[in-house]
Amino acid sequence: MVQTQLRDLAMDRALFGVDFKPKPADASGLDLVEFFFSANAGEMPRPLGKIASGGEISRVMLAIKTALAGRAGVPTLIFDEVDTGLGGRAAATVARKLEELALHYQILVISHLPQLASRATTHYRIEKIESGGRVATQVRLLSPDERVEEIARMLAGEHVTEGALANAREMLTGKFAGEELV
């Protein structure tokens, strides 16, 4: 089931496995569990934590959590870098997977991709601000108009154009690339 989810997340050649080894009983249980992973064709799966990038680990976690949706005992999932190395169709696919998970969990996603940010129910801007010689992190809920501007900035970079604003509005209404939000 995780393998199917990885394919849905634009990791068509990825392999995933789980290795269980018995160990003496302690507070963590009777088994040592290790995830094995290969992102590329022709490579044997190796320990996930030793070979996967941050983005690959986030997508594997997304695949596992999607496969287990509604069965895990945690109310909130946080994804950082789940969009690393993604664009276009793959980003839209990850966004849909996150929406699926949001039916079962509260999802927090730190993203730089408009495809993901535009699908969120609520959008916050996180900024580092220097004040009095110290750096602080500011988190601020965006208004609907600010959200359009932020998505447009994510699309266009420094110079937000009217075209980027129009594109952002389309993405936020769910009619981007002929796709309707559910």
Helix (H) / strand (E) containing 38:
strand 29-38
What tokens does 40 get?
């590329």
- Positive or negative, the CA dihedral 165, 168, 173, 179 is positive
Q: Among 56, 59, 39, 47, which Cα is nearest to 18's?
A: 47
CB-CB contact of 82 with 62 (8 Å): yes
Say whether pLDDT at 43 is over 80. Answer: yes
Question: With bands split at pLDDT 50, 70 and 90, how would you rate the model's confidence at 177?
Answer: very low
Say whether pLDDT at 181 is over 60. Answer: no
CB atoms near residue 170 (< 10 Å): 14
Alpha helices in 54-113 (DSSP H): 54-67, 88-102
Regarding predicted confidence, which is higher, 7 or 143? 143
- The rounded distance, in Å, linking the Cα atoms of 151 and 165 is 8
CB-CB contact of 6 with 59 (8 Å): yes
Q: Choose the weakest-confidence range: 60-74, 93-107, 168-182.
A: 168-182
Say whether pLDDT at 156 is over 80. Answer: yes
- The rounded distance, in Å, linking the Cα atoms of 2 and 16 is 7
Q: In DSSP terms, which residues pair with 134 in a beta bridge?
A: 131
